[in-house]
Amino acid sequence: MFRIVDKRELNSAVTLLEIEAPFVAKKAQAGQFIIFRVDGYSERVPLTIADYNREKGTVTIIFQKVGFSTNLLSTKEIGDSISDFVGPLGIATNYEGMKKVAVVGGGVGCAIAYPQAKALHALGAEVDVIAGFRNKDIVILEDEMKACSTNYYLMTDDGTMGEKGFVTNKLNSLIEAGNKYDAVIAIGPIPMMKFVSLTTKPFGIKTIVSLNPIMIDGTGMCGCCRVTVDGEIRFACVDGPDFDGHLVDFDELINRNSVYKAREAEISKDHVCRMDKLAQELMH
């Protein structure tokens, strides 16, 4: 069992949990992920590592309450435990040769962009962070992002905080202003990563995206997390989650990720676990 040592509600839909997992914390690096299960009957859900503390033996995850399992996880409090917390999984981000980088986060994707910016800052790189949200009510990690960036740009779709516009607008203006980025790291909704990649491609700027396809086992065996990169099949759990944004088939990824949306909405509304139902029947 893995004990929750801290909990924060970053906004009405996004929760931060710090979880006691010393073996995961010992090896964790930026760009990697974990797979959790709330209890023995739960589904396996992947989440990118938002932070870690090797001395305390803890790993921080930040998640949006969008489905049955993440809503169930959000009900856990400090002192509670969850059943499984497996990791670190995936390949850590390679920062070789990155001296000036733009880190672009969209919405809850900023929780994943944060450890990237933090790692680059620790390596002495110049880091421009562009964080995008729909409005001021869902802004997260502003202070943390500012602390590990050379320049921090906050964008909101409606202009209620920071600058009005999309992250791609700001990124394009920074590039056209003469910023010579060694790389752009984009993390967020798939359409956002797609358009960031389209923005950087004409300038020939290396662009890394962190992909979040459907995933089950996290070891490359189930094949659910397959993505097409440069015309070839790759598995996000063992080949990623980082990929070259200029080579990813984003349209295919969008279609695959939407397959179970209707079913998940149905389950969240009236889910009854068949194992629990069977146990109750056996007891009677």
Are the C-beta atoms of 201 and 207 separated by less than 8 Å? Answer: yes
The arithmetic mean of pLDDT across residues 241-251, rounded, is: 94
pLDDT tier, 282 (very low <50, low <70, confident <90, very high otherwise): low
Q: Mind listing the pLDDT tens digit for each residue in 207-241? A: 999 998 888 877 778 888 889 999 999 998 899 89
pLDDT value of residue 3: 95
Q: Mind listing the pLDDT tens digit for each residue in 45-97? A: 899 999 999 999 999 999 988 888 888 899 999 999 999 999 899 999 999 99
Residue 182 CA: distances (Å) to CA of 93, 113, 136, 160, 203: 14, 17, 30, 31, 11
Q: Which residues contact 65 (CB under 8 A, 6 or more apart)?
A: 13, 14, 15, 71, 74
Closest C-alpha among 77, 68, 61 to residue 5:
77
Phi, psi of 118 (to 5 degrees): -65, -45
pTM across the whole model:
0.85
| Residue 155, Ramachandran bin (φ over 0: left; ψ between -120 and 50: alpha; else beta) | beta
Q: Mind listing the pLDDT tens digit for each residue in 100-154? A: 999 999 998 998 899 999 999 999 999 999 999 999 999 999 999 999 999 999 9
Q: Could you tell me what percent of the chain has a pLDDT over 70?
A: 91
The residue type found at 66 is V
Alpha-carbon distance 175 to 237, whole Å?
A: 32
Domains of the chain: 2-89 (2.40.30.10), 100-210 (3.40.50.80)
Are the C-beta atoms of 98 and 182 separated by less than 8 Å? Answer: yes
